[in-house]
Copies of this chain bind each other. A is one copy, B any other.
Amino acid sequence: MSNKNSTYAILEAIQHEMRNDPHLTMLYEYQRPVAADPLGNVIDLYKEFGDLRIPDWGPIDEEWLLGGAAGIAMTGVRAISHLPSMTTVRCFELVFNQVGKLRHMTGGQVNMPLVVWQDASGRRPGSAGQHADAGQEALYAAIPGVKVVIPANAYDAKGLFTAALRDPDPVIFFQYGAAINGVQIDVPDDPYVIPLGEAAIRQEGTDLTIVGYGPAAVEINKAAPDLKSFGISAEIIDPRTLKPLPIDPIIASVRKTGRLLVVDHGHESHGTASEIIARVAMAVPGAKFGRSTFPDAPPPGAREMIAWMTPDAPKVVEASKKMMQP
């Protein structure tokens, strides 16, 4: 039990499942799965499981990592496909037309025990264009037949990754840069499961419901003390899973607060915020809704620009104040 970062926590989850399942295999690209915890313990999956199940060689070819892993999974071998952060949709068609559809299309015959471990950059300065993206989890959540998970801290990362590895269906697991050391939290050494589709209520409150996951959850967490100091009693919810979306606790909360603010580092249009607001709007007529999202623009490189465009803790506070105006 220590303050592990999410990568270490994920490797713990994988290591445990690999020890129990002699076939579980991970395909990945140039990022050998090695990490250390604060106590100096090192997990090196390659060293432990060798070149076949953790092949420490291979091409820059995300379609192989995904499509090959799907072929592995279809033959009854649980597989992980670890994809780099700038290629969040490089294999979108394979997920859309194959991975997500095969069970249904075959009348239930094809099992797809596949976890796609998708790195995601988030809104970092100096990268621009393709290397500072966020929000693509919403695109995957639009695909029937895949589940989508986005932890905001290492504890959730481990529990959700374990759940994903034990699921018979494909799970897309987004690991954002901001969530690696995001919210510091102790992570047990033993395996545990956080069921897919369970929200975490980070803080209870009565004035305003604030919903956000991944990098947005990290910013909301930072904003919490300020909100208190401004006298706003916010109920803070991290859905953690986008599909299945745990909408019930959010609806229950908005029934109580009458106000919903969704914060998202994805784009304004057709992002997660829309889906959450729409579902609550159908269930709670008369509530007040707001969203704070990255604009409908690619991420610019210059720090001034991208920082101004990103919903960070100060903007969460500002938005909350606006939501509280009559």
Contacts and interface: CB of A to CB of B under 8 A. Distances in A.
B285 A286 contact: yes
Interface string A277-313: 1110110011111110001111010000000000000
A215 interface: no
B282 A97 contact: no
Interface range for A: 35 or more
A89 B87 CA distance: 15
A237 to B, nearest CB: 17
Contacts of A105: 128-130, 298
Contact of A275 (B135, B270, B282): B270
A245 interface: yes
A35 interface: no
A298 B96 CA distance: 10
Interface string A76-102: 000000000011011111001100110
A192 to B, nearest CB: 28
Give me the 4 closest cross-chain CB pairs, A-B, nearest first. Answer: A281-B281, A142-B270, A105-B129, A277-B278
Given A277-B277, A286-B286, 16 more contacts: A87-B93, A92-B93, A104-B297, A138-B142, A141-B270, A142-B271, A144-B267, A144-B296, A245-B269, A270-B270, A273-B278, A274-B277, A275-B278, A281-B281, A282-B290, A285-B288
Interface of A: 86-87, 89-93, 96-97, 100-101, 104-105, 128-130, 135, 138-139, 141-142, 144-145, 243, 245, 267, 269-275, 277-279, 281-282, 285-291, 295-298, 300
